[in-house]
Amino acid sequence: MKKKLLVGNWKMYIEKPEEAKRFIAACKRKAQNISGVDVVLAPSFTLLPTLAAAAGSRIKIAGQTVSPFDDAQHTGEVSAVMLKAAGAAWVIVGHSERRATEGALVPAQVAAAHNAGLMVVLCVGETERDPSGAHFSVVAGQLAQALMGANGKPAAAKVVVAYEPVWAIGKDASEALPPAELREMVIFIRKTLADLLGRAVGIKIPILYGGSVDAHNAPGLLAEGDISGFLVGRASTEVTSFIELMRICKK
């Protein structure tokens, strides 16, 4: 069986190099025997080199976003090549906290990441649910936009999809998606990916869940949701809860 994938999105929770180094040292100390899970951490840009140096080979590093541009005249942007040079092998694209203002950039960001050889965690998810089931077409639209790209050339290589219903992000675990509803959405995402990219490619793309995941709801979501792992925010910024999630993913 393929290993589960646990991606930690630090957002702006961890701000200083000393904190990042302490986190990794404690993780290494306490998680010595946990080898059955793939772990990726996404710190802010300023912490990338520190984390990449501290993490060693067992924990991979991700950018939290990437510039869609590759030419130099873009003040304040960080290109995919820069991310790679800073030690990242992955990048999160389309997180809802960025989609709100720059959703149109997602296809170019996926393309830029792939051109630099980065793995992409592509976030999709509806902002709210209503009984009409409109959330399915929202997610299908986001997948088509991101994966068919501006030129219609499919971008299936090196993509992991993270389903994160926006209304469940940053809340209490009790407000996360129930496992049965996750399973329904995962089946829908898998079918959409197969329609977009062809069955052989589409069904191989791992699907993660994110949105108020913690040690209490993770086992149920994993067992019933038919997912390949998690993208977690807050629970990835505290060593004990992150290690607990590693343990759960390993089972």
Q: Which residues bind ligand PGA (CB under 6 A)?
A: 9, 164, 169-170, 210-213, 231-235
Encoding tokens for residue 219?
A: 């086992």
Q: How far is the CB of 219 from ligand PGA (least distance, A)?
A: 16
Residue with Cβ nearer ligand PGA (20 or 196): 20
Cα(50)–Cα(53) distance, integer angstroms? 5
C-beta nearest to ligand PGA: residue: 233
Axis crossing angle, helix 179-197 with helix 134-148, rounded to the nearest 10: 40
Residue with Cβ nearer ligand PGA (20 or 169): 169
Q: How far is the CB of 241 from ligand PGA (least distance, A)?
A: 10
3-state helix, strand, coil in the chain (%, to 5): 45, 15, 35
Residue 71 burial (CB count, 10 A) = 8
Instruction: Give the 3-state secondary structure of residue 231.
Output: strand
Residue with Cβ nearer ligand PGA (202 or 233): 233
Q: Which residues of 13-45 are buried (b: 16+ CB within 10 A; e: fewer)?
A: ebeebebbbebbeebeeebeebeebbbbbbbbe
Radius of gyration of the chain (CA): 17
Residue with Cβ nearer ligand PGA (43 or 210): 210
Residue with Cβ nearer ligand PGA (202 or 211): 211
Q: How far is the CB of 92 from ligand PGA (least distance, A)?
A: 8
Cα(224)–Cα(179) distance, integer angstroms? 6
Single-letter residue type at 115? N
Q: How far is the CB of 21 from ligand PGA (least distance, A)?
A: 22
Strands 37-42 and 4-9, by their bridges, are parallel
Give catalytic residues, as residue numbers. 95, 164
Q: How far is the CB of 188 from ligand PGA (least distance, A)?
A: 20
